[in-house]
Amino acid sequence: MPERLTLTQNAQFYREDVALTNEAIRNILDAASDNKTLGSVFLIDQIDAVRELEDGSQFRFSLRVFPTARPVHFWGEPLSDLIHALILIIQIDGYVAVLKKSCASVTEVLERYLTPIKSSELTASFSDEEAEFQKIAMRNMTVSERAMRSKAYEAADLKGLLSLHAAGRSIPYFFKLKLNGQVKTISAQSGRVVESSERKSLNDVVKWVRLQIEQIKNPSGEKEFLEAFAQMVELDIVWDATQPTAALIESSFIVDNLLEKDVPLIYTTKRGRSFELTGKQISALIHQLEKVYEVNPAPGFELNGTSRSASLKKNKNSISLSSPALRKIKLEENGKERTLQAFINKNDLITISFANPQYMYFMGQCFKDGAGLNEIPSLLKSFVAIDDLALAISEKGDYKPARKKFDANSVFGIIEKHFSKNDYVFCDDLGDEWADHIAFNKKEHSVSFIHSKHGDVSKSASNLHDVVGQAIKNIGNMDLDLRTFIRKYDEKILTNYRDGTMPRIRKKIPGDFKIYLTELRQDYRFNKRCIICCSFLSKALIESEFGKLHRGVRVPGNITQMFWILSSFVHATKEAGASPIIYCRP
């Protein structure tokens, strides 16, 4: 019967710390076939079978194929598709490859008996020089609500094209590469390797599995490209060295894999009554899941600010979320019922930052920032103290339609004074806003986008979210496409601010601005400056707190968050080819 199999080269890899017993194999197969249609029989059910390849070498395998019902969610009454599921376990030289399709979840039972092969081992199985990296998806080491969290790059070969400036703070979690003429993908979260090919027989798939295992056992030392990224570290090392400070649930995975597939979410009340969550209730749930929550210190590790109690729990090899409310929400996956909490933990959807900002927990693994705290001196060079910001009492002052300028003690007024020697200064606040102010200086060949925010001096990171988010969102506009900016100039900049008497052109020189802009943009020395002006930041205070971070002194979670947010701003700006500048009070 196994001769009838035609399989793709798609497997998850594990290591046997202790040889699998028949009982363990049966437990794995039983878990996988837990969604078998009631009353049906297995098409194939083989445990610990031995088979020989053409070269005389042997391998062990266990296999089940069975019918299962897949729910149809677009129909009001119970309806399902009858499909067939498969699980194949291949054992070679102390390693295990698992190929599966449409079976019930086996993650928990597999990890009870086996150790997953880490993504670092999979990527170490080949030389960077020999591989053409065609696609990389990566997670930035931040949980900020305003920072860019994930990004993906694609090219014929990213080596030499992808800027590695901020790579140390990026966690690669998906690779597509061409190696020896074959296209291969590696998923860090699942330890899965997929290689493009036509469907193959069992023996041919085993030959491919054996080749992957040989490559894992004999890693390449040439890793100059991948070593630029964040590196994996053991959870116990991180847990002993620092404590979690903030947690985020990767809610986009829930949206993509449950909500967009119309999987019903069923809530069970204390009295045992069950009902399906409505669209409004699901929106409220996702809104709660999207938030970043601060984590209280040990021993409880409770999440702060949740509407219902929730906490983190450290397991042997992972960190899980415990939430009574999420345990009351149930869903069906591959024919089996599970709670939303179990779904979140099974898929490793918890991302955690720590008091030591070098570390992050993501996709069930811990990573260490390749640059980390060594960047602090460089980050501090982005701060520029402006004495007048210590006198600011508001962002825009007491605006009245008849006024011709902003109050001198407002942040807007201080910015316009600071840029008074530039050629042009425009107020772009409100409406289709690219920045609060845009300034042009032909002598310095520059355009400056200034994003301002006022507040009392504080160590809180909350004020930074908006201004950094606004700056990062508009980085692309700094390239100044001539047609687009001239349209903005005609339709907005030439008007008065808030329909009053204050012109949006706050400073100008004689001549035609459109000709000026064309000449500036075509100058090979043209440079972009992305500026956030924060009257609530004190340079002395930042230097003191970040200095503690640099020395390894424990600081409050909000200081760590502030570091990540500002670091994200600096990296995103530099990556876009602009200079990051942070105006603050002394």
Residue 467 DSSP SS3: helix
pLDDT band with cut points at 50, 70 and 90 for residue 144: low
pLDDT tens-digit series, residues 483-519: 999 999 999 999 998 878 899 999 999 999 999 999 9
User: Which pLDDT value is given to residue 550?
Assistant: 81
User: Which pLDDT value is given to residue 62?
Assistant: 97
User: Which pLDDT value is given to residue 370?
Assistant: 66
Residue 513 DSSP SS3: helix
User: Which pLDDT value is given to residue 146?
Assistant: 58
| Whole-angstrom distance, CA of residue 518 vs CA of residue 513 | 9
pLDDT tens-digit series, residues 534-572: 999 999 999 999 898 888 787 877 788 788 888 888 888
pLDDT at 442 over 80: yes
Cβ atoms of 472 and 147 closer than 8 Å: yes
User: Which pLDDT value is given to residue 252?
Assistant: 87
CB half-sphere exposure, 459, CA atoms < 13 A = 13
pLDDT band with cut points at 50, 70 and 90 for residue 136: very high
Q: What is the pTM of this model?
A: 0.64
Per-residue pLDDT, averaged over 363-386, amounts to: 83
| Whole-angstrom distance, CA of residue 142 vs CA of residue 567 | 9
pLDDT band with cut points at 50, 70 and 90 for residue 139: confident
Edge to edge, what strands does the sheet with 446-453 contain?
383-385, 578-585, 527-538, 446-453, 437-441, 424-427, 505-507
Per-residue pLDDT, averaged over 321-349, amounts to: 90
pLDDT tens-digit series, residues 160-188: 777 666 677 788 989 999 988 899 999 87
pLDDT at 145 over 70: no
Beta partners for residue 148, in sequence order: none
User: Which pLDDT value is given to residue 372?
Assistant: 60
pLDDT band with cut points at 50, 70 and 90 for residue 3: confident
| Whole-angstrom distance, CA of residue 320 vs CA of residue 256 | 21
Choose from 138-142, 245-249, 549-553 the range with maximum mean pLDDT: 245-249
Per-residue pLDDT, averaged over 245-253, amounts to: 89
pLDDT at 93 over 80: yes
pLDDT band with cut points at 50, 70 and 90 for residue 147: low
Per the listing, tokens 């990573």 go with 367
Select the more confidently predicted residue: 427 or 164.
Answer: 427
Mean per-residue pLDDT of the chain: 89
pLDDT band with cut points at 50, 70 and 90 for residue 357: confident
Residue 165 DSSP SS3: coil
Per-residue pLDDT, averaged over 300-322, amounts to: 90
pLDDT at 460 over 80: no
How many residues appear in the chain? 586
In 201-354, beta strands by DSSP E: 231-233, 244-249, 266-268, 274-276, 292-294, 311-314, 319-322, 329-333, 336-339, 350-354
| Whole-angstrom distance, CA of residue 1 vs CA of residue 88 | 13
Q: What does the angle CA 489 – CA 491 – CA 497 come to, to the nearest 5 degrees?
A: 85
pLDDT at 333 over 70: yes
User: Which pLDDT value is given to residue 124?
Assistant: 85
pLDDT tens-digit series, residues 69-85: 988 877 777 788 999 99
Select the more confidently predicted residue: 301 or 159.
Answer: 301
Q: DSSP letters along 287-326, please?
A: HHHTSEEEBPPTTT-BBTT-SS--EEEE-SS-EEEE-HHH
User: Which pLDDT value is given to residue 24?
Assistant: 96
User: Which pLDDT value is given to residue 474?
Assistant: 92
pLDDT tens-digit series, residues 10-62: 999 999 989 999 999 999 999 999 999 999 999 999 999 999 888 888 999 99
Cβ atoms of 110 and 20 closer than 8 Å: no
User: Which pLDDT value is given to residue 423?
Assistant: 95
CB half-sphere exposure, 60, CA atoms < 13 A = 13
Per the listing, tokens 């939303």 go with 340
pLDDT tens-digit series, residues 269-304: 888 899 999 989 999 999 999 888 989 988 889 999
| Whole-angstrom distance, CA of residue 545 vs CA of residue 219 | 41
Per-residue pLDDT, averaged over 317-345, amounts to: 90
- Here the tokens at position 582 are 């942070």
Q: What does the angle CA 230 – CA 291 – CA 330 come to, to the nearest 5 degrees?
A: 100
CA 95 to chain centre: 30
User: Which pLDDT value is given to residue 543?
Assistant: 93
User: Which pLDDT value is given to residue 91?
Assistant: 96
Select the more confidently predicted residue: 446 or 164.
Answer: 446
Select the more confidently predicted residue: 555 or 327.
Answer: 327
Other CB atoms within 10 Å distance of the CB of residue 522: 9
